[in-house]
Amino acid sequence: MININNLNFGYSKHKPLFKNMSMRLSNGHIYGLLGKNGAGKSSLLKNLAGLVYAQSGTLDVMGFNPAKRQPALLEQICFIPEEFYLPSVKIDAYLKANAPFYKNFDHSYFTDLIKEFDIPVEQKLINMSYGQKKKVIIAFGLATQAKLVIMDEPTNGLDIPSKAQFRKIMASAMTDERCIIISTHQVRDLDNLIDTVIMLDENDVALKASVEEITAKLTFKKVKEIDDSIIYAEASLSGYNAVMPNYHQEESKLDMELLFNAILAEKIKFKPLFS
Amino acid sequence: MEFRDNKAIYLQIAEYVCEHILLGKWKADEKVPSVRELAVEMEVNPNTVMRTYELLQNKSIINNKRGIGFFVDEAAIDNVINYRKQQFIIDDLPVVFRNIYLLNISFDELENQYKTFVKENFNA
């Protein structure tokens, strides 16, 4: 689905954001893109959608170079940015203007999603709250039936019931033909949806591994005391939340926040485990 | 469903399915929810539910009729009991034993507590 090869990218020549980054992404997965502020999550997503251009290296998305912005590719990409602008029209006018760009657009699915998200259809888009606007573009994006779904912080601004609805909608939107990439800081909102973790740090991919692979190699658990087997630990009320090699084939639940902090702190120790 | 922190999600979903079978909500030879239906209900990745269903197939708790879906196995209840018993002995019993030892609870007291519990909860 996506092949990134030796990608070099930056907003200025002197400050590279990605140095020789390479990565392959395939359909049938929900990738969770993690990284500190400024690590380049949104920039990577924009590269994939053809919204910014690489300095060197190749980007292949479904056989196309996204920088060329060919309609045949763009109609297969659903991009939900973190910041967006919606015009001063109602939903039906918005649909009339935008849906024709996507030849597989599913109008009845869109109507279902709008109903499920409880969006007031009589209201102008510009007068809606941030969360309501966000739900409109999520519904529109999924109704395009695009094969590549890119979402930048999709749960930002959603209220509590909408987050649960969003998870249900994404669980049903994930098909074998689709590749879904979600960047997020709110890992607790989404950790059970993500099947593969991609973490960006220091101009490159610091980790790309499936949840299954991570929990086969690492154990996440609460311990009373710290010993040498522990790679990384954080103090908690009842002891420590710890990450350690999975010596005894334990089937623990991946703690994505703990993993994130562990990799930032102990990158060198994790490298040999995931290469 | 509220997931606990200490166990892989696919195993927690397996427990959920087993629970439904033991309680008779899903009966032998009946169809169980599709991978996607259960993923939506649980708000998890369908690949996770697929992993659950593969595990339950290996334990002969459900079986896959190609093109139709997954069904509760004829011998599901016995197989669930075997599987859950193993899990209980490995995961839960050591914690219970540790407390029995530390708190010095006698087996007589334990037996009485157990009988009362069964009476109150299951009327047996």
pLDDT digits (tens, 9 = 90+) for B2-22: 787 778 999 999 999 999 999
Q: How many domains does chain B have?
A: 1
Contact B45 A253 (CB under 8 A): no
Nearest CA of chain B to the CA of A188: how many Å? 12
Task: Report the residue from A174, A215, A253 with minimal CB separation from B45.
Answer: A174
Last residue of a domain, one of A201, A229, A256: A201
Q: How many domains does chain A have?
A: 2
Residue A182, in any domain of the structure: yes
Q: Identify the pLDDT of residue A217.
A: 93
Last residue of a domain, one of A201, A232, A248: A201
What range defines the domain where residue A228 resides?
211-274
* Interface residue A192 vs chain B (CB under 8 A): yes
* Interface residue A222 vs chain B (CB under 8 A): yes
Contact A251 B11 (CB under 8 A): yes
Q: Identify the pLDDT of residue B124.
A: 64
Are A43 and A175 in the same domain?
A: yes
Last residue of a domain, one of A170, A201, A232: A201
Are A193 and A231 in the same domain?
A: no
Nearest CA of chain A to the CA of B44: how many Å? 5
C-alpha to C-alpha distance for A259 and A234, rounded to whole angstroms: 11
C-alpha to C-alpha distance for A41 and A33, rounded to whole angstroms: 7
Are A114 and A222 in the same domain?
A: no
Are A236 and A172 in the same domain?
A: no
* Interface residue B36 vs chain A (CB under 8 A): yes
Are A142 and A222 in the same domain?
A: no
Neighboring chain B residues of A254 at a CB cutoff of 8 Å? 8
Tell me, what amino acid is at B114? Y
Q: Searching chain B, which residue's CA lies closest to the CA of residue A28?
A: B47
* Interface residue B21 vs chain A (CB under 8 A): no
What range defines the domain where residue B61 resides?
9-76
Residue A245, in any domain of the structure: yes
Residue B93, in any domain of the structure: no
Q: Identify the pLDDT of residue A101.
A: 94
Contacts 24+ apart (CB under 8 A), B48-53: B48/A192, B48/A195, B48/A211, B48/B9, B48/B10, B48/B13, B49/B10, B49/B13, B51/A212, B51/B10, B52/B10, B52/B11, B52/B13, B52/B14, B52/B17
Task: Report the residue from A212, A222, A252 with minimal CB separation from B7.
Answer: A252
Q: Identify the pLDDT of residue A254.
A: 93
Are A67 and A170 in the same domain?
A: yes
* Interface residue A183 vs chain B (CB under 8 A): no
CATH at residue B68: 1.10.10.10
Instruction: Give the A:B interface size as CB pairs under 8 Å.
Output: 59
Tell me, what amino acid is at B53? Y
Query: Tens-of-pLDDT digits for all 275 residues of chain A?
Result: 999 999 999 998 888 999 999 999 999 999 999 999 989 999 999 999 999 999 999 999 999 999 999 999 999 999 999 989 999 999 999 999 999 999 999 999 999 999 999 999 999 999 999 889 999 999 999 999 999 999 999 998 888 988 999 999 999 999 999 999 999 988 888 989 999 999 999 899 999 999 999 999 999 998 888 888 899 999 988 889 999 999 888 899 999 999 999 999 988 888 888 87
Taking a C-beta distance cutoff of 8 angstroms, is the pair A256, A239 a contact? no
- CA distances to A183, A200, B11, B30 from A42, in Å: 8, 11, 34, 46
* Interface residue B86 vs chain A (CB under 8 A): no
Residue B36, in any domain of the structure: yes
Nearest CA of chain B to the CA of A267: how many Å? 24
Residue B67, in any domain of the structure: yes
C-alpha to C-alpha distance for A42 and B58, rounded to whole angstroms: 42
Residue B30, in any domain of the structure: yes
Residue A206, in any domain of the structure: no
- Residues (pLDDT < 70) of chain B are 124
Are A183 and A258 in the same domain?
A: no
